[in-house]
Amino acid sequence: MTNLSLFDPMTTQMNRVLQSFGLKPWQFDDQQLQVKIDISEDDKNYIVRADIPGVKKEDIKVDIDGNRVSISAEVKSFKEEKKNETVIHSERYEGKVFRSFTLDSAVDQEKAQAKYQDGTLELTLPKSSNGKSKRLAIS
């Protein structure tokens, strides 16, 4: 099977114009706005590692409802390039990222832990048989 890609003639034309002035082509990298996760388990716990770089821990929310886990975060980014103190390029975006998934077993919310360090959120989710709902505090 071949890889499919979106062709946008306006973007292609705009990139040609920018390159003719020696500027970088325009593109929107939606990879920056995704929460990428790894989930592993042992006999007692699920371990979830989520990459959410550039986000303050206060802007991250983790909700657990039985075996359903939801991670959301407010993302704000500002990047500016200057040449001789004149702005030649500026990019900003802000929004909310969200990732939700279902585990095989319910989670014991009272013993669940969340830690955010160096752009990675790590959740330790003990397996349980009850199904209450709880929001985790991130340390």
| Residue 20 confidence (pLDDT) | 73
Could you tell me if residue 8 is inside a domain? Answer: no
Give the range of the structural domain holding residue 59, as residue numbers without chain letter. Answer: 29-136
Span 67-83, pLDDT tens digits = 999 999 988 776 666 66
In a domain, 83, yes or no: yes
pLDDT of residue 1: 41
- 66 lies in a domain? yes
- Assess if residue 77 is contained within a domain: yes
Distance CA 30, CA 127 (A): 33
At 131, is the pLDDT very low, low, confident or very high (cuts 50, 70, 90)? low
pTM to 2 decimal places: 0.65
56: CATH: 2.60.40.790
Is 75 a member of any domain? Answer: yes
Instruction: Report the number of distinct structural domains present in the chain.
Output: 1
Q: Say if 19 falls within a structural domain.
A: no
**Residue pLDDT, tens place only, 14-59:** 667 767 776 655 554 444 567 899 999 998 999 999 999 888 899 9
Q: Is residue 74 situated within a structural domain?
A: yes
pLDDT band at 102 (very low <50, low <70, confident <90, very high): very high
Q: Where does residue 114 rank: exposed (0-12), middle (13-18), buried (19+ CB within 10 A)? A: buried
